[in-house]
């Protein structure tokens, strides 16, 4: 099962892996043609009713596969009198308004190839021709809201027709995630399909329909789902910046750079305000690294359980996303404090570095993203991984560990493995230069900035990819000299687009 949003991500990942959407469209159209062949014999009359998006584009391809005048070489070889169908294509709207290049190219191919293809300017002029099969390709997963005109009227004509209706991907006007007709009214119009050819994977909403559903493999590589890619960033790229997103790094003491890097990464990733809570003696130093941060100090030179109630109260009252761990050190009192923090906190947090080993030891209501390296993973009770290259070979064990822990695990090494115990993805983004100190801190801060406005698993996937991608964007300049602080600059481009590269 796959949701429409996830499908769009996988589609974009496939393109990044070298399988562009036009190629997928060719496979989709071919699958639609096969379905028509399954419901009607050659020679039957097929009316293709297409919209101006890629759903229509799939059907233009199908028309090429279906239409025939009996002279197709394969039909002759098989001894069939006619391998083709009497196919007409009806585009709802003018060709200039076709929304995508790939759909337009397939429309142009129909016109140049002298197929029977017409533009329908006004639905009042449109008579669905007498036919045996209607291919419904008005709208697919790109539908928003109730069917507008002319689609609404045409949907009614399709439903009234005495023909087998084959819908492309999803019956037009139906929400693929819920199976409901889109629109406010209970009697919202949608096509009533006899058959649906959907692509790549089943859609949750199609099960409840009174239609026979076929899932067609359109050649999307498995890696487009398994590997985190640019498609996984669609939630950030298509979303609006969250208001008042705040992050709160509880870190510093023996170290000062780590909390500063994490807090700055959070700002680069969409947080509006980034706070650091740090011990008195090091607070000015952390502030000195970056005027963008708001540093709040507490008594003592390291975190102790005494400070915890105040920190929890501050974080919860402002709904801050916490980063617990960077630069805290591992004094017994500090580990006790980390434990107490998790026991009392019920918000969202990224847990990193020295705070990680306490996670399995504590009951918490908090929502956590844990970001261990190989060594920290083992210390937490996760799998022992023999080398930095081998992390992804242990993906199944990491999934089992995340399931047992009840939190998202982002295990970082050459390739990162991200799991919530059910879903597991691998990020191969990154460069050899990233073994330098501090890149884990920018990763934790990035995850926190994203966690302010996105769900934990998605945030962890996006953070792994963006942090690695930031290094890739810089690598042609930095090679071995990459610094974690360089990543800060490149993070926004890695997340929101690389046009200025």
Binding-site annotation: residue ranges for (6S)-NADPHX: 54-58, 140-146, 169, 258, 327, 441
Give the pair of three-digit tokens for residue 402.
């995340």
**Nearest Cα to 246, choosing from 172, 330, 323, 299?**
323
Partner in contact with 328, chosen from ligand LP7C6HRI, K ion, none, beta carbon below 5 to 8 Å by kind: none
Nearer Cβ to K ion, position 55 or 304? Answer: 55
> Which residue carries 């359109």 as its tokens?
218
Query: Of 99, 95, 89, nearest to 60 (Cα)?
Result: 89
110: left (phi over 0), alpha (psi -120 to 50) or beta: alpha
Tell whether residue 148 is a contact of ligand LP7C6HRI (CB under 6 A): yes
Out of 147, 262, 380, 484, the only residue in the binding site for ligand LP7C6HRI (CB under 6 A) is: 147
Q: Which partner from the list K ion, ligand LP7C6HRI, none does 334 bind, CB cut-off 5 to 8 Å by kind?
A: none
Which positions from 156 to 175 touch ligand LP7C6HRI by CB under 6 A, shown as an x/- string? ------------xx------
Which lies closer to ligand LP7C6HRI via its Cβ, residue 167 or residue 247?
167
Q: Would you state the structure tokens that stand for residue 165, as one six-digit string? A: 């209706």
Quick one: which of 143, 181, 233, 234 contacts ligand LP7C6HRI (CB under 6 A)? Answer: 143
| Stretch of 73-81, 124-132, 159-167, 179-187 contacting K ion, by CB under 5 A | 159-167
Return the residue of 106, 172, 334, 439 that touches K ion, per CB under 5 A.
172
Which of 2, 12, 19, 25 binds ligand LP7C6HRI (CB under 6 A)? It is 25
* List of residues 6+ apart from 165 with CB closer than 8 A: 133, 134, 136, 158, 159, 171, 191, 192, 193, 194, 195
Q: Which stretch binds ligand LP7C6HRI (CB under 6 A): 17-25, 39-47, 153-161, 337-345?
A: 17-25
Asked if residues 417 and 395 have their Cβ atoms less than 8 Å apart, the reply is yes
According to DSSP, residue 180 is labeled: P
- What does 172 interact with, of K ion, ligand LP7C6HRI, none (CB < 5 to 8 A by kind)? K ion
Q: Give min distance, CB of 151 to K ion, in A.
A: 10
Cβ-count burial of 337 within 10 angstroms (0-12 exposed, 13-18 middle, 19+ buried)?
buried
Q: Which residues are annotated as a binding site for AMP?
A: 440
Continuous H helices in 206-331: 223-226, 234-238, 257-268, 283-289, 308-317
Q: Does 139 bind ligand LP7C6HRI (CB under 6 A)?
A: yes
Per-residue contact track with K ion, 42 to 81, x per CB under 5 A? -------------x--------------------------
Mapped onto helix, strand or coil, the DSSP state of residue 255 is coil
Task: Count the residues of the shown chain that bind ligand LP7C6HRI, applying the rule CB under 6 A.
Answer: 31
What is the distance between the alpha carbons of residues 170 and 213, in angstroms, rounded to a whole number? 9
| CA dihedral for 475, 479, 484, 488, sign (positive or negative) | negative
28 binds, among K ion, ligand LP7C6HRI, none (CB under 5 to 8 A by kind): ligand LP7C6HRI
* Contact partner at residue 145 from ligand LP7C6HRI, K ion, none, CB < 5 to 8 Å by partner kind: ligand LP7C6HRI
To 10 degrees, the CA torsion angle through 414, 415, 418, 424?
Answer: -150
Name residues whose C-beta falls within 8 Å of residue 70's C-beta, 6 or more positions apart in sequence.
Answer: 81, 82, 83, 84
Question: Token digits for 475?
Answer: 């690598």
**Residue 111 contact among ligand LP7C6HRI, K ion, none, beta carbon within 5 to 8 Å by kind:** none
Give per-residue burial for 342-358: e unless 16+ CB within 10 Å, then b: bbbbebbbbbbbbbbbb
Name residues whose C-beta falls within 8 Å of residue 317's C-beta, 6 or more positions apart in sequence: none
Among 84, 140, 430, 433, binds ligand LP7C6HRI (CB under 6 A): 140
- Which entry of ligand LP7C6HRI, K ion, none binds 142, CB below 5 to 8 A by partner kind? ligand LP7C6HRI
3-state class of 162 per DSSP? coil
Residue 167 interaction partner, one of K ion, ligand LP7C6HRI, none, beta carbon < 5-8 Å per kind:
K ion
- Which positions lie near ligand LP7C6HRI, rule CB under 6 A? 7, 11, 21, 24-25, 28, 51-58, 99-100, 139-148, 151, 168-169, 199-200
- Which positions lie near K ion, rule CB under 5 A? 55, 136, 167-168, 172
């Amino acid at each position: 099962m796959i949701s429409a949003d996830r499908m769009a991500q996988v589609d974009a990942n496939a393109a990044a892996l070298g399988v562009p959407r036009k190629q997928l469209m060719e496979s989709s159209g071919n699958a639609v043609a096969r379905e028509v062949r399954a419901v009607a014999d050659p020679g039957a009359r097929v009316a293709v009713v297409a919209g101006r998006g890629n759903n229509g584009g799939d059907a233009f391809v199908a028309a090429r596969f279906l239409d025939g005048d009996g002279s197709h070489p394969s039909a002759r070889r098989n001894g069939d009198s006619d391998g083709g169908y009497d196919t007409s294509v009806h585009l709802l709207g003018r060709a200039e308004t076709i929304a995508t290049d790939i759909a337009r190219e397939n429309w142009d191919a129909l016109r140049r190839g002298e197929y029977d293809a017409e533009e329908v300017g006004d639905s009042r002029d449109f008579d669905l021709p007498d036919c045996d099969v209607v291919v419904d390709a008005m709208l697919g997963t790109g539908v928003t809201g109730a069917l507008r005109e002319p689609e609404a009227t045409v949907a009614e004509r399709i439903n009234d027709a005495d023909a087998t209706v084959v819908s492309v991907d999803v019956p037009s006007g139906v929400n693929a995630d819920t199976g409901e007709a889109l629109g406010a009214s209970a009697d919202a119009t949608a096509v009533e399909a006899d058959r649906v050819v959907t692509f790549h994977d089943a859609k949750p909403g199609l099960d409840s329909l009174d239609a026979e559903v076929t899932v067609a493999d359109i050649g999307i590589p498995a890696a487009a789902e398994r590997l985190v890619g640019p498609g996984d960033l669609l939630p950030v790229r298509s979303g609006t910046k969250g208001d008042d997103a705040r992050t709160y790094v509880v870190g510093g003491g023996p170290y000062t750079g780590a909390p500063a890097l994490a807090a700055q990464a959070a700002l680069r990733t969409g947080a509006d305000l980034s706070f650091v809570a740090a011990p008195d003696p090091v607070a000015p130093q952390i502030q000195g690294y970056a005027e963008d941060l708001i540093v709040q100090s507490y008594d003592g030179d390291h975190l102790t359980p005494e400070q915890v109630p105040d920190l929890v109260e501050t974080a919860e009252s402002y709904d801050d996303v916490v980063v617990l761990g960077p630069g805290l050190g591992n004094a017994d009192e500090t580990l006790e404090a980390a434990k107490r923090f998790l026991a009392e906190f019920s918000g969202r947090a990224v847990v990193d570095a020295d705070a990680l080993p306490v996670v399995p030891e504590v009951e918490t209501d908090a929502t956590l993203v844990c970001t261990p390296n190989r060594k920290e993973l083992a210390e937490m009770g996760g799998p022992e991984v023999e080398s930095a290259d081998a992390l992804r070979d242990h993906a199944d064990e990491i999934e089992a560990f995340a399931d047992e822990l009840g939190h998202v695990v982002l295990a970082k090494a050459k390739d990162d493995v991200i799991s919530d115990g059910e879903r597991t993805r691998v990020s191969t983004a990154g460069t050899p230069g990233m073994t330098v100190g501090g890149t884990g801190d920018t990763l934790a801060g990035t995850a926190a900035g994203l966690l302010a406005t996105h769900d934990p698993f998605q945030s962890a996937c996006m953070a792994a990819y963006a942090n690695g991608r930031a290094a890739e964007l810089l690598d042609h300049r930095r090679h071995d000299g990459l610094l974690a602080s360089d990543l800060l600059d490149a993070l926004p481009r890695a997340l929101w687009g690389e046009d200025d590269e």
